[in-house]
Amino acid sequence: MADVVDSADVSERATLGDGTKIWHLAQVREDAVLGANCIVGRGAYVGTGVTIGENTKIQNYALVYEPAQLGRGVFIGPAVVLTNDTYPRSISPDGSLKSAHDWTPVGVTIHDGASIGARSVCVAPVTIGRWATIAAGAVVVKDVPAFGLMAGVPARRIGWVGKAGHPLREQDGLWVCPETGETYVQNGEELTESEENA
């Protein structure tokens, strides 16, 4: 059973997994689907039809606009914004106010285990690879590879991170996690887990 505080605004059409917690002043819209054991922090917004995997944390005041798709174990830091409009305008060229039917929403896809740092912005449509880390304040405008460590405006890859979130160190042709000792293999602009980890 989910735990929703009284001040949260959760649509009756939203689906909340067992153990999910929705904090003060958060809003979860119609047809959003949240897996088990998720946390939606104070003042956060989850848009219509957004899907969120189990064990995901959405921190305070983050904005997850539809049609975003988040995998399992994703971390969305405080005040992160996942956009959904490639060409945003309030009005049409003739000056008339645009409505919800005057544009096509595009989403951000975040794969399992990825972390999006505080106050960063992911400009849709982009895909964040599994276990990638986006530094606080970054602006992501291009797809991010699995295990990529991204920073800056616009964000660029400045290294690699392992599953523990620590930057990897290059050693004897492999990338090594200083926390777990797990090793990874780089092939061009992609990183994969070494068979030694199995």
**What pLDDT, in 10s, does the model give residues 168-186?**
999 999 999 999 999 999 9
Poorest-pLDDT segment among 11-20, 29-38, 189-198? 189-198
Which is it for strands 9-10 and 27-28: parallel, antiparallel or unpaired? parallel
Residue range(s) in the chain whose domain bears CATH number 2.160.10.10: 3-161
Task: State the average pLDDT over residues 153-177.
Answer: 96
Return the pLDDT at 127: 98
Going from the C-alpha of 99 to that of each of 49, 81, 83, 106, 182, the distances in angstroms are 19, 21, 17, 16, 50
**How is residue 161 annotated by DSSP?**
B
pLDDT tens, position by position, 2-26: 999 999 999 999 999 999 999 999 9
Averaged pLDDT of the chain: 96
Going from the C-alpha of 121 to that of each of 63, 79, 81, 194, the distances in angstroms are 10, 9, 5, 31
Asked if residue 198 has pLDDT above 70, the reply is no
Token duo for residue 124: 């849709």
Task: State the average pLDDT over residues 155-178.
Answer: 96
Other CB atoms closer than 10 Å to residue 99's CB: what's the count?
Answer: 8
| Residue/partner pairs of 25-30 with CB below 8 Å, 24 or more apart | 29/66
The torsion angle over the Cα atoms of residues 14, 37, 52 and 7, rounded to 10 degrees, is 50
Tell me the backbone φ, ψ of residue 91, rounded to 5 degrees: -130, 160
Task: State the average pLDDT over residues 146-174.
Answer: 97
pLDDT tens, position by position, 70-98: 999 999 999 999 999 988 999 999 999 99
pTM: 0.95
Return the pLDDT at 195: 81
Token duo for residue 24: 């003060």
Return the pLDDT at 43: 98
**CATH number for region 3-161:** 2.160.10.10
Return the pLDDT at 190: 96
